[in-house]
Structure 1
Amino acid sequence: MAEQQLILEIGMGADVHGHDMTKAALRAVSDAIRHSSLSVFYAWKVPQKMRIELTIACPDPEAVDKAAVAAALPYGTVEVTCVEGGLTDEGMGGSSDTTLVIAGVRAFLDTENSPFTLSA
């Protein structure tokens, strides 16, 4: 297999009231994928064959519903990894605190026998 990374997008999402890690993660994924058009996958007619590595950085990685976040991506096989990161702004106090989450979306495709080549 000659799998190549073809896409890397970064997004940020926030839950302004409530510290909901999944809500903020879904917003971060949405932000990331709205920045790209995966035309290479459509041109080769294989969007369902891409493998996606989705990294979520948030203050409470265990609180993320990985299945819900994976379902936010419309194509491919999605692997979700949650790590500690992001930000909690505790300046307002209580439920008014803001949680920020960062999403890194990387898409891979087996390019062997593909109609295009990638240069080094």
Structure 2
Amino acid sequence: MTALSNSRGFINSLILSSSTKFSSNNRESIPFSHHELRNSNKLSFLLPPIRRPISVTAAAMASDQSSVKTVDSVPNSSMKLLFVEMGVGYDQHGQDITSAAMRACRDAITSNSVPAFRRGSIPGVSFDQMKLQIKLGVPRPLQHLLDIEKVKSVFPYGAISNVEVVDGGLICSSGVHVEEMGDKNDDCYIVNAAVYVGY
């Protein structure tokens, strides 16, 4: 019992002596900063180690890609790329991932105009040579429900040469379950879209 109380007294004295420092002018006690406390040799065994955030790379995730259909990556070299349009689409009620993807594509293209093809601004390139490639970020559990043909119907012109679906987007709560709007639960589906335009 005496040994235990002695060791407690020793630890308490270490904490007191290490958690303050004295100024040379007035010997006033000034507390150590958290960083100084952590780096103190006397206190290092009392404080938990600093946890560093870890990142998961695409290579680490690739091991579980067997169930995802592989396609040529977008964009690829089958067209000369002119510009990229990006958008986000939501389906807050009804849990329809295709609706979210269609809204993402509309969001990407509706604030842009592409007169160059119709006006012949690109020498030797006619309007019917316009090409599109589409990349969609869709939550993996919902990818098999996506109707690609419906998504393609959003684009009024341009030949769609490739559509790639990758892990992305989000499933979150809309905060309310509205049966009258077709909700099965309170899930909100979010899709990201990148539309690559070229010829």
- Alpha-carbon offset, residue 106 of structure 1: 0.3
User: What amino acid is aligned across from residue 102 of structure 1 in structure 2?
Assistant: N
- Which residue in 1 is equivalent to 2:164? 81
- Which residue in 1 is equivalent to 2:130? 50
Which of 187, 190, 194 is the aligned partner of 1:97?
187
Counterparts of 1:27 and 1:3, CA distance in 2:
25
- Which is bigger in relative contact order (C-alpha 8 A, separation at least 6)? 1
Q: Which runs of 5+ in 1 are unaligned?
A: 110-120
The number of aligned residues is: 108
Instruction: Percent identity, please.
Output: 31
The TM-score, its normalising length taken from structure 2, stands at 0.50
Q: Which runs of 5+ in 2 are unaligned?
A: 1-77, 178-183
User: What amino acid is aligned across from residue 127 of structure 2 in structure 1?
Assistant: P
Matches within 5 A, 1:30-69: 30-44=106-120, 46-59=126-139, 60-69=142-151
Higher fraction of strand: 1
- Alpha-carbon offset, residue 91 of structure 1: 6.5
Counterparts of 2:87 and 2:110, CA distance in 1:
9
The TM-score, its normalising length taken from structure 1, stands at 0.80
Counterparts of 2:79 and 2:148, CA distance in 1:
24
Q: Which 4+ stretches in 1 moved above 3 angstroms?
A: 90-94
Structure possessing the higher radius of gyration over alpha carbons: 2
Taking structure 1 as reference, are residues 90 and 32 closer, same or farther at Cα in structure 2, changes over 3 Å only? same
- Which residue in 2 is equivalent to 1:24? 100
Counterparts of 1:47 and 1:97, CA distance in 2:
41
- Alpha-carbon offset, residue 3 of structure 1: 4.2
Taking structure 1 as reference, are residues 3 and 23 closer, same or farther at Cα in structure 2, changes over 3 Å only? closer
The answer (yes or no) to whether the contact 2:92–2:174 under 8 Å persists in 1 is no
Which of 72, 81, 85 is the aligned partner of 2:154?
72
Q: Which moved more, 1:38-47 or 1:54-63?
A: 38-47
